[in-house]
Amino acid sequence: HQHIADQIKKILPNGGKVLDMGCGQGALSGRLHDMGYEVTAVDTNPADFICKTVPLVQLDFNDAAAVERFFQEHEGRYDLVLG
């Protein structure tokens, strides 16, 4: 994840808002948080998410209507979306 974090640092100043779609256990989300970014993590299974410093939003990616609602509600809130 360090390589990805380094690339993000090149394009987004600290304090930027990052949406981490399909975050898994939250390792990258946690690393970005520790680097000074405001991170929201999204995944289907909260049981797998182990990061304690970043909020997790549970979202069923197979439910097209739920995904559409999520993007409508969060439109314009993030400087960078990872997925």
What is the per-residue pLDDT across 5-32, written as a single tens digit (0 to 9) for each? 999 999 998 899 999 999 999 999 999 9
pTM of the model: 0.91
- How far apart, in Å, do the first and last CA atoms of the chain sit? 13
Q: Treating both helix axes as pointing N-terminal to C-terminal, what angle do 27-34 and 2-11 enclose, rounded to 10 degrees? A: 50
Q: Which strands form 56-58's sheet, in the order they lie side by side?
A: 56-58, 38-43, 17-21, 80-82
Q: Tell me, rounded to whole angstroms, the distance of Cα 77 from its chain centroid.
A: 12
Determine the pLDDT at residue 14.
Answer: 86
pLDDT digits (tens, 9 = 90+) for 44-80: 999 999 999 999 999 999 999 999 999 999 999 999 9
How far is the C-alpha of 35 from the C-alpha of 58, rounded, in Å? 24
